[in-house]
Structure 1
């Protein structure tokens, strides 16, 4: 079976790496891909926003499945266009993708389905939002309603900061994403990332992971798209996992089906594990980045078979096997990230780093210039280790990083610190 993977980041490289091992795979294409993905797939120039062009490519190349990596094409309805053209795809429809496309949509669904989440208000004008703010205690969370590339969330500890965040949304800082604002109660606890495959009626939990959002060691500095992750997350005990499926995931699946907009694809729940149990922070409707990198390192089952079972609505008869090993990934980012990253700097000695045992290096923002490998984004490489424990996985990843010659980049030195603290 020929497969088309949409996307160009570290998540897509990890997915391409896993898909390339499937005995069901014929040829793997990726649009647009990156320098690392080109080692396991044929990268093609294809604009995912041009639905007709994607459909033509699928027909011309006998594509049996389209795997849509990023959220933007899903929210824009690429899945709907493929489905109407008779092309099998993995991911939700435009209507179901509102779970990520609109934070207010998700909060309202939580209220309807009695899903545990932070108390909130949803506002379409600055006056009403600030009046609500005045009645709330601090800290408080202000979110642009729509897709803002991970930049539309502010945790405000001062009232002036909260009001400035509201003003930023309504003044157009985040474009259309800020036309509505969600203001939420601040939740105390430990964050975790939880994933489940969903086929509209059934859901199959995947392994857990924990991300590191802040740019600096000790969880300091601004939020980013993620500076590293590890799996499994110790905070996700079997009891907590069962509660997440029972109290959060299945009520979401059932409510979306009841509304006539069944969710098919991967549901990524950002969770806060509080003293009273798990609460939903937000949903994403695609695999996480960099969580996918550690999940794929631990997955022992055929990823393509799992994607097909989801697309064909037969998940209730499907199961997955996971390695008992832990995996940990460290993001190497370009200087200037998460602001304006410096592009075009050369990365050397990657081949030496690849020789470190139990390590895979996933490219997130790279391009080739002849024989040279250049940085071409904010998050550039994901150096991912595997080991019997998080500590072993960490040691493998950092041993590989030590061999990479790239003065133009930086990374956190403390990825996995929460899990390591628990092991001490």
Structure 2
């Protein structure tokens, strides 16, 4: 812990040093300059003190999310400034070296003075993430988007041609702070009038009690003709806090599983059921969480039971790394997998149909939207709620509507 704090302080010192250099280039008033620097020192002290107060027996709270937001709002822009000025320093060093050893200009300073326009560019670029993060906290985190996706399957049973599924994921109810916005999102869910609704985990951040104020709200999700089903996510196991004993952890886990029933969703725990329409049916399979770097309680073989390769199967598995490492290679051929988990890291750039980028893509090969391999599909929902950083920038909260179509898509 001490080493981590020392490392963090070193990084913050470098960032503050470069930020001070930029301000010194642009601000001539020493009173203003040193007032800003004094405020920065107080802010660092407050952040470090708050981090030291973090209680692993409680986990994430509104206070810890505020600290995370504060760190990002203050230090992401300053990091941009640091990188810009570091780049200038590398240029200054190279120019000074060339001048000293090749041009032999003895009267020139080894380091040229900082150029004001570089500092102005750095400040201008820093404003972009600053304003974006403010937007993400005030508006973005509840800027729900309904994303509609049509998927074609040659072997889809005829009766299910045009069948619609509303998919939500990653509720993270412990992060909510605006009942009006959540009710608005539930209205959006109901407006889709889908045949079936599926929830792929993370109903809370850690504790079952986080969902208690929201049970009535989520019970407003209307009854869908073919049911409401769910699976667990990694946060539903209470793995990210220190419990007084194993019994307390298990009691919380049981209470979390009960929450899904409290909002009228059938929880599938490494099992499957059938969705019957007329004389035909499809299999709905639900596994517990399976993540490459998280809890692996999911048992695909147990969940699929005696299902055959020819059976049309929809799998709910919270973490898309399960599809990447296991599901897409399984001989039983799971036609469609629905996942969440990544949140798109709640930060990125997305122009629908043209471009999408997020740091999430460097961790997960499948991180947002639809992916396909040899007729096997996975759809990764961007998440309903938010966690850690109390906002969303570019990657908005999602309500997905999937339409199953029989045949081959014509491009």
TM-score by length of 1: 0.23
Question: Which of the pair has more CA radius of gyration?
Answer: 2
Which is helix-richer, 1 or 2? 2
The structure, 1 or 2, with the larger RCO (C-alpha pairs under 8 Å, 6+ apart) is 2
